[in-house]
Amino acid sequence: MKKSILRQIIKEEILKEFSTTKEYVVIGNAGRGRQNLWPNSTNPKLYTKIEAESIVKKQNDTNKLYSSSIYFHIQNLRDAEKYISPGQPAWTGIQKLLSNN
């Protein structure tokens, strides 16, 4: 593979990784099929990947201090439905975000 093609591929992947497009959600998994969205499932928000990762780190670090069983993770809005059980408030929030995009 030519170096110029390889450089272009790497550049595109880096741009995707640090995109300023707000297309990520933060999902809190409380176990037993219970999920919520950050900051809340009724009024969910989209974040850039960097923003979402920062929220996840802060929430998971805080939860460790207080022995909380909620685990936060990020997902791209397009894939988020796979990680939420239908019938949960987070499911309604994801549907709301999908209909707005």
Per-residue pLDDT tens digits for 58-100: 999 988 777 778 899 999 999 999 999 898 899 999 999 999 8
Q: How long is the chain?
A: 101
Q: Which amino acid, residue 40? A: N
Is the model's pLDDT at 17 over the cut of 70? no
Residue 18, pLDDT above cutoff 70: no
pLDDT computed for residue 1 by the predictor: 64
Residues 6+ apart with CB under 8 A from 74: 24, 25, 26, 27, 47, 49, 52, 53, 56
Quote the pLDDT of residue 45: 95
Residue 34 burial by Cβ neighbours in a 10 Å radius (0-12, 13-18, 19+): middle
| The two structure tokens encoding residue 32 | 């037993």
